[in-house]
Amino acid sequence: ISKQNVFGKLYYKIFFENVNKIIEIPKDDIKPIDNPLDLFKSQIFSKPIHFKLKFLAHLLDVIASGEEMISLSNFKINPLPHQLLVLDFVLNQFKPRCLLADEVGLGKTIEAALIMEELKLRNIIKRMLIITPAGLTTQWKDELKIKFSEDFLVINGATFKSFKEIYGEETNIWLNFNKVITSIDFLKPKKINDDLSETEKKRREIHNKSVFEDCINANWDIVIIDEAHKLTKHESGEETARYKIGKRLSDSVPIFLILTATPHKGKPHIFKNLLSLVDPYLFNKLEDLKPENVKQISIRNKKRATIDFSGNKLFKNRITTLCEITWDSEIDEPEISLYNKVVEYISEYYNFALKENNHLMILLLMLYQRIVSSSSRAILKSLQNRLNTLEKIYKLAQKIKEISFDSFTELSGEEQLDFINNLFPVLKNPELVKKEISIVSECITLARNATIGRNDAKLRKLINIIDDLKRSENDKDIKILIFTEFKETQRYIIESLENLGYKTTYINGDLNLEQKILHKQKFQEDTQILISTDAGGEGIN
C-alpha cells in the first residue's frame, strides 16, 4: 500500500488482509508464491487441522499483543489502502494525537471512526466526543450507525434543555452519555460584556457553565473535531470561541484527533496554532513549523496518489489551469464602467469609515469588492439592498454599537454579507449618508446597463471552457462542477446555462443536508452541470 527508499534500499508496506496486519518488508525479501487457484486446480490442499490451528494462532496473537488491527473485519465497509495507512500511522504514535488532513473526498470520517473503533476494541477508550459543524451532526450519526453499528447521541440546544429537565439543573448532562456528537457552535463559550442586559448576561453565564465548562470536565477518553480549520487563533494571539473549545479539550483529554482538508490556508501562524492543539510542545513558536515536525503528528493523503487494492487509481489525474479574463473595450464597456464606479465608491467610503473607526462599514465595502468581481448581477442585487437600507435609516443615522466579530472571518462570503446587512452599517454623518445614496443609485443604474442584453466577460469565458471541454474529451454529456462564492452569481450562471439548453442543479447554504444530498444525486443521475457555493465543500461525500 506504500513504498519508501531508505538509504538506497526499497521497502514496501504490505497489508495482509486475512490477519489485518501491515508489515514493512525489503523488496529483496519478497518472493512469488504459488497461486491458490493453481494449487486448487492441482488438487493440492492443506490439512483442515493446519488451517484451524493457523487461524487460532493468528487470533491469539492479535488478542495477546494488542498491536495488530482487530477492527477491520467487524464492519460493513472495506477500508481503502490510504485509510489503513492513516489507521496505522495513528496507532503507531506514542500518543494518539494527530491531524488527519486528507484531501476532500478521501473519507476522513471513515478514518477517524476506524481509529476510534480500534481503540475501543482494545479497551483504551470508552467515553467518546465528536464535534462537527451543525450541519454535519446528523451525517456523522448516520454513518457511524450504518457503517459501524454505533449509536451516538446528538446533543444540541433542544436535546440539552430536555435532559436538564429530566436530570436536574445541577447535573452535568455530558457525564450521562458515553457516545456524543455535538456542534461546535452549540458548544462554544458565549462572550460576556457590560453592554448586555442582565437577563442576557445570566443566560450566557448559564450556557458557559452547563454547556461549555461541564463538557470540558466530562472526562472524555477521545475527542474528534471535524472541519478543524474553523479553530482559529490569529497572529495577534486573539482566540476565537471555536479555538477555545479546541484548546480546553486538547488540554483535558489523552486522545485528540482533528480533521480538516485545508489546515494551512496560506496563514503560517494560524496553522502553527492549530498544530499546537495536537502537540503544544512541538509547536511552541513559528520557527517550529518545519516539514519534519509537521509529519510527526499529521498525515495527508492526496487524491492523485490513492489506489484500491488492485492498484487502480481512485481518481482521475487533475489538470489545473488559471484562466485569465480580459475585457473587450467595446463589448464590455458597461461592465468596465460599473467596475470602475464601484471601486471609486469603495475607495472613497472606505476612508470615511476608517476615520470613524466603523469596522462594520469597512467589512461591507471589502465584500463589495469581491461581489463586483463575481458578477454584475450579484453587485446589482447587493447595491439594491444597500440603497433600501440607506433610504430607510437616512433620517435616523446614528451611532452603531460596537459589534463582536468573533469567528466572522470563518464565515463564507455569502454568510458575511447576510450578517452585515442585518446590522444596518452606516456612517455617523448624515450628509455622507445622503451622498452615498446618490453614489449607490448611480452604481445601480450602471449595473442594470451591464446586465441587460449581455453576459459578463467571465460568464462568456465559462461557456467557452465548457465548449472546449466537450470537444477535448469528445463527450457532449461530460459532467461539470462549477464553484462560485455568491448565491446571486450562482442564479445568474444557472439561468444562463439553462437558456443554452444545459440541465443544471445547485448546492448552497439555503439547503439542509438532506436537500444537498438529493441535489448531488440529481447531478449524478440526471443533470450535466452542478453549480455550488462554498456549502458544497462541507459534509457531502
Residues 489 and 431 in one domain: no
Residues 39 and 87 in one domain: no
What's the whole-model pTM score? 0.70
Residues 94 and 201 in one domain: yes
Range of the domain at 15: 1-31
Give the model's confidence band at 92: pLDDT under 50 very low, under 70 low, under 90 confident, else very high: confident
Residues 56 and 203 in one domain: no
Residue pointed to by grid coordinates 450556557: 207
Most confident of 7-11, 74-78, 325-329: 325-329
Neighbours of 264 (CB within 10 A): 16
Residues 154 and 248 in one domain: yes
N-terminal to C-terminal alpha carbon distance within the chain: 23
**Tell me, what's the pLDDT at 463?**
94
CATH number of the domain where residue 299 is located: 3.40.50.10810
pLDDT at 134 exceeding the cut of 50: yes
Residue 324 lies in a domain: no
What is the tens place of the pLDDT at every residue in 168-226?
A: 888 999 999 999 999 999 999 998 888 878 888 899 999 999 999 999 999 999 999 99
Residues 60 and 94 in one domain: no
- Among 223, 241, 253, 256, which Cα is nearest to 96's? 256
Residues 156 and 258 in one domain: yes
Average pLDDT (2-15) is: 84
pLDDT at 318 exceeding the cut of 90: no
Calpha distance 391→8 (Å, rounded): 74
C-alpha cell at 190: 458565549
Residues 230 and 114 in one domain: yes
What is the tens place of the pLDDT at every residue in 394-432?
A: 555 433 333 445 555 556 666 666 665 655 567 778 888
Least confident of 26-35, 150-159, 518-527: 26-35
Phi, psi of 532 (to 5 degrees): -130, 145
Q: How many residues does the chain have?
A: 541
C-beta contacts of 74-78 below 8 A and 24+ residues apart: 74/117, 74/121, 75/117, 75/147, 75/148, 75/149, 76/146, 76/147, 76/148, 76/149, 77/110, 77/147
Residues 171 and 234 in one domain: yes
**Tell me, what's the pLDDT at 401?**
38
Residue 492 lies in a domain: yes
For residues 394 and 434, the answer to whether their CB atoms sit within 8 Å is yes
Last residue of a domain, one of 268, 290, 305: 305
What are the beta bridge partners of residue 128? Answer: 179, 222
Last residue of a domain, one of 286, 305, 324: 305
Calpha distance 423→415 (Å, rounded): 13
Residues 463 and 446 in one domain: no
pLDDT at 393 exceeding the cut of 60: yes
Residue 313 lies in a domain: no
Residue 224 lies in a domain: yes
Give the model's confidence band at 266: pLDDT under 50 very low, under 70 low, under 90 confident, else very high: confident
Last residue of a domain, one of 434, 451, 468: 451
What are the beta bridge partners of residue 24? Answer: 13
For residues 174 and 214, the answer to whether their CB atoms sit within 8 Å is yes
How far out from the chain centre does Cα 40 lie? 50
Q: How far is CA 441 from CA 111, 332, 365, 445, in A?
A: 53, 21, 16, 6
C-alpha cell at 101: 488532513
| Pure H helices in 304-399 | 333-355, 359-374, 376-393
Ramachandran bin of 220, using left for φ above 0, alpha for ψ from -120 to 50, beta for the remaining angles: beta
Helix (H) or strand (E) holding 156: none
The three state secondary structure string of 42-82 is CCCCCCHHHHHHHHHHHHHHHHHHCCCCCCHHHCCCCCCHH
Q: How many domains does the chain have?
A: 5
Residue 138 lies in a domain: yes
For residues 511 and 538, the answer to whether their CB atoms sit within 8 Å is no
Calpha distance 256→231 (Å, rounded): 14
Calpha distance 192→195 (Å, rounded): 8
Residue 314 lies in a domain: no
Calpha distance 274→263 (Å, rounded): 8
Residue 317 lies in a domain: no
Residues 437 and 475 in one domain: no
**Tell me, what's the pLDDT at 427?**
76
Residue 319 lies in a domain: no
CATH number of the domain where residue 479 is located: 3.40.50.300
Average pLDDT (143-159) is: 92
Calpha distance 139→107 (Å, rounded): 13
Residues 243 and 181 in one domain: yes
